[in-house]
Amino acid sequence: MGLLDFLGFGTRAPQAGTLDTLNCDDDTATMSRIAAKLETLPLEQARYLAAFAYILGRVAHSDSHFSEEETRKIQDIVQALGHLPEAQAVLVVEIAKNEVRLFGGTDNYLITRQFKKMAKPKQRIELLDCVFAVSAADRSITALEEGQARQISRELGLTHEDFVTARATYLENVEALKQFRQSRGDSSR
Q: How far apart are CA 113 and CA 140, in angstroms?
A: 27
Q: How far apart are CA 109 and CA 104, in angstroms?
A: 9
Q: How far apart are CA 171 and CA 180, in angstroms?
A: 12
| Residue 57 neighbours by CB under 8 Å, 6+ apart | 66, 74, 93, 96, 97, 99, 100
Domain borders along the chain are 3-184
Report if pTM > 0.85: no
| pLDDT-based confidence at residue 9 (cuts at 50, 70, 90) | very low
Provide the 10 A C-beta neighbour count for residue 96: 31
Q: Per-residue pLDDT tens for 57-116?
A: 999 999 898 999 999 999 999 999 889 899 889 988 998 999 999 887 888 999 999 999
